[in-house]
Amino acid sequence: MKVNLITSSLVIAVSSSVAFASNPKCQGLRDELQALQRAQAQIVQSLVSNHESFAEVLEEYSMSSTKAPVATAQEMKKSARSFRERGLQGQRLAARLRQSTEDLVARVDVCLK
């Protein structure tokens, strides 16, 4: 959801700015888009890392907790696998988003020239 918000914000920023590409003040648009792209990559990587970290914590706790019933430990391991899978999905989404953003930056760059 956060990735969609980032993408939507980027598209809105670009679509509103591209209309003014002939304006000399818009020459910095490419730099701004690249800065947005770097920020987007950092945010997405952070979200993916959070999934992996949480999965690791769940796995460690499920193995180290002697007080938790076996069924609870199994559920924790299952949850860890789910979080890890979400992290992998996030990585795939991040790759697609990175490609789309690079394409968008290239097209805006062509429009500004």
Who has greater pLDDT, 98 or 66? 98
**What is residue 68's DSSP assignment?**
S
CA gap 13, 15 in Å, rounded: 6
Output the average pLDDT for the chain. 77
Q: Check residue 4 and give its pLDDT.
A: 55
**Best CA proximity match to 104, nearest among 17, 4, 3:** 17
**Best CA proximity match to 94, nearest among 49, 28, 31, 58:** 49
- 1 confidence band (pLDDT: 50, 70, 90): low
Q: What single-letter amino acid sits at 6?
A: I
Q: Cα angle at 7 between 107 and 93, to 5 degrees?
A: 100
Tell me the average pLDDT across 25-43: 79
Tell me the average pLDDT across 77-98: 88
Integer CA distances (angstroms), 29 to 4, 56, 78, 84, 86, in order: 21, 41, 46, 37, 33
Tell me the average pLDDT across 37-64: 86
